[in-house]
Amino acid sequence: MDIVVCLATALAAYLLGSIPTGYLVGRARGVDVRKAGSGNIGATNAFRVLGKPAGVLVLVVDGMKGWLAVSVVPGLAHRFLGASAPFDPSTREYLELIAGVVAILGHNYTCWLRFKGGKGIATTAGVLAALVPLTFAACLLTWIVFCLLTRYVSVASIMAAIALPVSTFLVYHFTHNEDYGRRMIILAAVLGALAIYKHKANLERLMNGTESKIGQKSTPANGAPPP
């Protein structure tokens, strides 16, 4: 595999993933989402602070960042920088895995906001939709079920993260589809662990009984009453 193509794929995927959608949408509305609600730039806080239309926009764009990173970036990088090397299925798979992981890291640790980003759930969903759609469907169903049962977005996201490697393994076990093979199971475990780690503050609030449910007003990051 051409190292130049790898590096170009990683850089482009990071820059794509690092676009701070929630922050930009908030700024367009005259609000710094980092200082309101949970202080997070992701879709959940955008829903709380900016309203449903803005929240949906942030959710869709953050998801598309992951999907585009996997579906488009590797092909473009190879076309413009590695056209002389074969773009076989193995090369494509490695580049897609690199692009997916780095796009999520870009969202979670965006260079535009001093490496403080979101939790990566929507971007991870976009990556999964492109790489392993059956796993994506299983995680989405898990998220919906736990969201309806608990009314906590954080709980739903954590349970979907737990379901990520489990569902990938089960799909491979029952279908023997190599797209869900050992490398993907390991990647799913890593992405699930990263998602749970990014929810550590939510876990603390859940244990303290201070986590906000869907439809419940949350206080700004500085502790003042919500706007």
pLDDT digits (tens, 9 = 90+) for 38-96: 899 999 999 999 999 999 999 999 999 999 999 999 999 999 987 777 788 888 999 99
Looking at the fold, whether 211 and 161 belong to one and the same domain comes out as yes
Looking at the fold, whether 35 and 57 belong to one and the same domain comes out as yes
Residue 180 counted as domain residue: yes
Looking at the fold, whether 51 and 61 belong to one and the same domain comes out as yes
Residue 160 counted as domain residue: yes
Closest alpha carbon to 97 in 197, 157, 182, 205: 182
Residue that is last in its domain, among 131, 154, 187? 131
Global model pTM greater than 0.85: yes
Looking at the fold, whether 9 and 29 belong to one and the same domain comes out as yes
Looking at the fold, whether 62 and 159 belong to one and the same domain comes out as no
Looking at the fold, whether 86 and 169 belong to one and the same domain comes out as no
Average pLDDT by consecutive 10-residue portion of the chain (227 residues)? 90 98 97 94 95 97 98 94 81 95 98 97 98 97 98 97 97 91 94 97 94 70 40
Q: Would you state the pLDDT for residue 1?
A: 59
Looking at the fold, whether 113 and 178 belong to one and the same domain comes out as no
And the tokens for 11? Answer: 């850089």
Q: Would you state the pLDDT for residue 224?
A: 39
Residue that is last in its domain, among 131, 164, 190? 131
Looking at the fold, whether 9 and 97 belong to one and the same domain comes out as yes
Residue 223 counted as domain residue: no
Domain that residue 157 falls in: 132-215
**What would the pLDDT profile of 52-61 be if each residue is shown by its tens digit?**
999 999 999 9
* Number of domains comprising the chain: 2
Q: Would you state the pLDDT for residue 198?
A: 96
Torsion (CA) 17, 22, 25, 28 in degrees, nearest 10: -110
Q: How many CB atoms lie within 10 A of CB 56?
A: 13
Considering Cα of 209, then 204, then 193, then 71, what sign does the dihedral take? positive
Looking at the fold, whether 87 and 159 belong to one and the same domain comes out as no
Considering Cα of 95, then 98, then 103, then 109, what sign does the dihedral take? negative
Residue 227 counted as domain residue: no
Residue that is last in its domain, among 92, 115, 131? 131
Looking at the fold, whether 104 and 10 belong to one and the same domain comes out as yes
Residue 222 counted as domain residue: no
Phi, psi of 72 (to 5 degrees): -115, -45
Q: Would you state the pLDDT for residue 112?
A: 98
